[in-house]
Amino acid sequence: MNFIKTVNTRFGEEYYTLRHPSGLKIMICPKEGFHSTYAVIGTHFGSINSTFIHNGATVKVPDGTAHYLEHKLFESEEGDAFSRYARTGASANAYTTFDVTCYLFSCTERFKESLEILFDLMQSPYFTPETVAKEQGIIGQEIKMYADNPDWKVNMNLLQAMYQKHPINTDIAGTVESIAEITPEILYECYHSYYNLNNMILCIAGDVDPEEVLEVADAKLRRDEPVQTESVFPEEPYEVGQTYIEQTLPVAVPSFALGFKERAGKEFASTKEMLCTSILLEAFAGESSALYRRLLDEKMINSSFGSEYWEGCGYRAVFFGGESKMPLEVAEIIKEAVRELHQNGIAQEEFEIAKRCVYGRIARSFDSTFSIASTMINDEFTGRDSLNASEQIAAITLEDVNRRLRDQLDPDNCCLSVIKGIEAADEQSEGAD
């Protein structure tokens, strides 16, 4: 059983890939001389996968189940995995997104022992009525905490307003009411549907020997028979559900998120499409762009302003956001700039500058074991090849980026989300009187 070796010739990076007999796909990027090692294992099960077909039956689970399962998997009959990690000196964590759940650790020593713990917690689910009920209070507090977080709420409110049917319009952690419906049986159903090693990926970056990883995998991983699980999503209209949504929270400066909804199918954007989008957004709203300089010079935004592309199965959207005392005015300026962009396209000089900026970010990412491993696992889930994006970006032309623009940034299909401060809301109320 041998690893397949590939090389990124531009940066001299080596990658080793193997499908282990257990079913697990393993990817390793050795970084000789690096101080820390980062490992992440994940499954394509996130908050939007709340309806799925498993063993021929359609299953509908409560909102927040994927996040709840993430919390509970750290427990076993032998105790808490965090306690075991503490003894090896590793820093461990986990996260649930709309699309995936991942478990990770970083360490500077005793790597093999930490990897053994990671494999153990993936294969030893332990859910009882008592332990599941105990977690409801902990996650309930987390839900309430995020409900008061303006950075989180401005984006979640935007998704709620933009998407009419797709489950991305629901908070990743669910609600206090929805998590109260979660039972051990539901968690086991989700675990056996999605936490099959044939559907999971392990990515490691750091000063490690691939053969050492294989030795631990051979000793710890049991063979999983493949399972077929299909996530089910409702058909989402192209049009946004609402064009404006606002909420009042105790913030010193209002924050906003302006989202442009895009047509989306089951497929993720290709590597080339993602690179074109990155260049497009850098040229249009990056720190060297005319739009950014204008908004900053006129003190309509601050350094928190930025753009982001959100995409997954059934959803795609571009977000612009940050803090602003004039969010409505900023949104109108961005939409007008978008109209001009569609009319004139990206200029050659702006394209060249943006392309160099994106290339620079790619080059710098190879200096971080976190970035390398995170990129590897994201690429496996999306079917992209960002680790070789440095090769592809050289071939991208201005025509490619302007062609991509035609599918993005529809100024007539966007939504603005605003988080207002209490004082601003009171002033607006007084003005209405």
Over the stretch 366-423, which tens digit does the pLDDT of each residue have?
Answer: 899 999 999 999 999 999 887 778 788 989 999 999 999 999 999 999 999 999 988 6
Question: H helices of 163-270, where?
Answer: 176-179, 184-194, 210-220
- Give average pLDDT by consecutive 10-residue segment, the chain, 433 residues: 82 90 96 94 97 94 97 86 94 96 96 96 93 91 92 97 97 96 97 96 96 96 93 96 97 96 91 95 96 97 96 95 97 98 96 95 91 94 84 92 94 97 60 45
Cα–Cα nearest to 105, from 24, 97, 116: 116
- For 330, phi and psi rounded to 5 degrees? -60, -45
**Can you tell me the distance from the alpha carbon of 353 to that of 22, in angstroms, rounded to the nearest whole number?**
47
Here the tokens at position 429 are 């109320």
Amino acid, res. 205: A
Of 200, 231, 262, which residue constitutes the final position of a domain?
231
Which of 231, 263, 294 marks a domain boundary? 231
13, 70, 282, 311: which is the annotated catalytic residue? 70
Are residues 107 and 225 part of one domain? Answer: yes
Establish if 238 belongs to a structural domain: no
Instruction: State residue 428's pLDDT score.
Output: 53
95 and 143 fall within a common domain: yes
- Residue-range definition of the domain harbouring residue 294: 244-432
Asked if residue 145 is part of any domain, the answer here is: yes
Provide the number of structural domains found in the chain.
Answer: 2
291 shares a domain with 391: yes
pTM of the model: 0.92
Pair 278, 360: CB distance under 8 Å: no
pLDDT of the residue at 425: 53
Distance of CA 338 to the CA centre of its chain: 26
| Alpha-carbon span 303 to 301, nearest angstrom | 7
Say whether both 252 and 145 belong to one domain.
Answer: no
Clarify whether residues 383 and 418 are in a common domain.
yes
Q: Tell me, yes or no, whether 10 lies in a domain.
A: yes
Residues 52 and 194 in one domain: yes
Domain assignment of residue 236, yes or no: no
For the beta carbon of residue 26, count every other beta carbon within 10 angstroms: 21
pLDDT at 432: 44
Rounded to whole angstroms, how far apart are CA atoms 399 and 170?
Answer: 37
| Strand pairing class (315-323; 244-248) | unpaired
Does one domain contain both 223 and 256? Answer: no
142 catalytic? Reply is no
Give pLDDT, residue 77.
78
Domain end point (choices 231, 264, 289): 231
Distance between CA atoms of 407 and 427, rounded to whole angstroms?
Answer: 39
Do residues 264 and 188 both lie within one domain?
no
Q: What is the CATH number of the domain that holds 281?
A: 3.30.830.10
49 and 168 co-located in one domain: yes
For residues 104 and 70, state if they share a domain. Answer: yes
Both 250 and 227 in a single domain?
no
